[in-house]
Amino acid sequence: MALPKIEILTTGGTIAGKGESETGSSYHAGEVPGDELVRSVPGLSRVADITVREIASIPSQDMTEGVWLALLSAIREDAEKFDGFVITHGTDTMEETAYFLQLTTACKKPVVLVGAMLPSTGLSADGPRNLYNAVLTAATPDTAKQGVVVAMDNVVIGARDVFKSNTTQPETFQAMNFGKVGWIFNDKVTYEAVGLRAQLKAPFDVTKLEQLPKVGIVYNHAGVEGYQAEALVKAGYKGIVSAGVGNGNIHKAVWPVLEKAAQDGVVVVRASRVPTGSATKDAEVDDEKMHWVAAQSLNPQKARVLLQLSLTKTADWKEVQQYFDKY
């Protein structure tokens, strides 16, 4: 039987990182070419017929919307030629890229993001096993029902819920609110659940855009001042996400800046810096009165992605709230 055809789109990250020693912690991300990565994984050629295409070679802390749009076009261009896609990516911003693709690709084939917490030259590097499992996940047709997923450390998590929870440990990716959807063991991917939102058709077609609307994040903390928010407004940002405290609460120093911003047509989204739970509508804050949008269970960095995409369609806060309610 012919093997499934899988395209690996490479962007860099620690999975392609080179370290100075096998045990030390210092390394440079994104230095090993994709072909070399594939060759370093024993048995991969028995799982799939693999093609590698380089999209970028960067540590993902430097991720840009240009790379997101290039990934999107590559998947669109190659959708008919392959049975599934694997994207190698740094772990720092993987959740943002995954959610962006979830909302934009409309690809009917599996799309799987993967990375590593240890550089490829490290002792017991996690990259080869993660890459093997990601190819297996992309070659499993049921993965397509899960929307875009991250497969790392033997588990599969949907793009909307996945969250980097630890700075250094291989089991860093967790499903913060709603749970892992599948697990990988002995050359088999087993699904136990399916995210309902993952099954919605991607609503945003941004393939023709060269850039996305500017949206920034303002972090709330004890003693914060209004300057960060003011700077974003002054720089002409079309949207601001507040990484609030608790249930998306906003400090009294930031509040008037965001109140005025909303009155002037900037769309303001209230998210929370708390890692689990939702910033709920009209709880301690009267969103209806302020014309602010409640991010609900999206963390600030993912709320930023959805706000950017929403702004390609509307600047009406009520319509933006509907996107947040649905996606």
- For ligand ASP, the binding residues (CB under 6 A) are 13-14, 29, 59-61, 90-92, 115, 117
**Least distance from C-beta 119 to ligand ASP, angstroms?**
9
In our burial notation (b when 16+ CB lie closer than 10 A, e otherwise), range 170-196 reads: bebbbbbbeebbbbbeeeebeeeeebe
CB atoms within 10 A of CB 27: 18
Which two tokens mark 307? Answer: 């706000």
Q: Which is nearer to ligand ASP, 7 or 96 (CB)?
A: 96
Active site residue 14: yes
Q: Identify the active-site residue in 14, 93, 97, 137.
A: 14
Residue of 88, 95, 82, 84 lying closest to 58 (CA atoms) = 88
Q: Are 60 and 116 in contact (CB under 8 A)?
A: no
What DSSP state is assigned to residue 245?
B
Q: Which residues pair with 58 in a beta bridge?
A: 12
**Least distance from C-beta 325 to ligand ASP, angstroms?**
31
Q: Which is nearer to ligand ASP, 33 or 226 (CB)?
A: 33
Q: Which is nearer to ligand ASP, 92 or 161 (CB)?
A: 92
Q: Which is nearer to ligand ASP, 5 or 28 (CB)?
A: 28
**Least distance from C-beta 55 to ligand ASP, angstroms?**
14
**Least distance from C-beta 164 to ligand ASP, angstroms?**
8
CA dihedral 57, 63, 64, 70 (to 10 degrees): 50
**Least distance from C-beta 54 to ligand ASP, angstroms?**
15
Q: Which is nearer to ligand ASP, 17 or 244 (CB)?
A: 17
Residue nearest to ligand ASP (CB): 90
Question: Rounded to whole angstroms, how far apart are CA atoms 59 and 91?
Answer: 9
Q: Are 99 and 198 in contact (CB under 8 A)?
A: no
Q: Are 238 and 232 in contact (CB under 8 A)?
A: no
Q: Which residue has the tokens 């800046």?
A: 257
Active site residues: 14
